[in-house]
Copies of this chain bind each other. A is one copy, B any other.
Amino acid sequence: MEFDIKNVDLAPGGRHRIEWASQEMPVLKGVLQQFQAERPFAGLRVGGCMHVTTETANLMVALQSGGADVVLCASNPLSTQDDVAASLVAHYEIPVYAIKGEDNQTYFNHINAIIDHKPHIIMDDGSDVTSTIHKDRRDAMSTVIGGTEETTTGIVRLRAMAKDGALEFPMMAVNDALTKHMFDNRYGTGQSTMDGVIRATNYLIAGKVVVVGGYGWCSRGIAMRARGLGGNVIVTEVDPLKALGSGDDGFLRDANDGSGSFGDIFTSAHRRHAISWTKHHFEVMKDGALAGNSATFTSKSTKPRLRELSIDDPAYGRLWNSSPKTGVSQPARRRSFINLAAAEGQSLQCDGI
Contact = CB atoms under 8 A, between A and B. Distances in A.
Interface of A: 15-17, 19-21, 23-24, 54, 91, 178-179, 182-183, 186-188, 190-191, 195, 198-199, 201-207, 209, 224-225, 227-232, 241, 244-245, 247-252, 288, 319, 324-326, 334, 344-345, 347-348
Given A191-B204, A207-B244, A245-B182, A227 B230 contact: no
B198 A347 contact: yes
The list of the 5 closest CB pairs from A to B, nearest first, reads A228-B228, A207-B247, A206-B248, A187-B206, A207-B248
A303 to B, nearest CB: 23
Contacts of A206: 187, 190-191, 247-250
Contact of A251 (B188, B228, B232): B232
Given A224-B230, A225-B228, 12 more contacts: A15-B326, A17-B202, A20-B201, A179-B244, A183-B248, A190-B206, A191-B198, A207-B247, A231-B250, A232-B247, A232-B250, A232-B251
A334 B23 contact: yes
A87 B203 CA distance: 21
Contacts of A209: 252
A287 B109 CA distance: 43
Interface centre among A21, A204, A224, A345 (most CB of B within 10 A): A204
A345 B345 CA distance: 9
B250 A179 contact: no
A225 B334 CA distance: 29
27 contacts: A15-B325, A19-B324, A20-B202, A21-B202, A23-B334, A24-B203, A24-B204, A54-B202, A91-B326, A179-B244, A182-B245, A183-B245, A183-B248, A187-B204, A187-B230, A190-B206, A191-B205, A195-B198, A198-B347, A199-B347, A202-B347, A206-B249, A207-B247, A207-B250, A230-B248, A232-B250, A344-B345
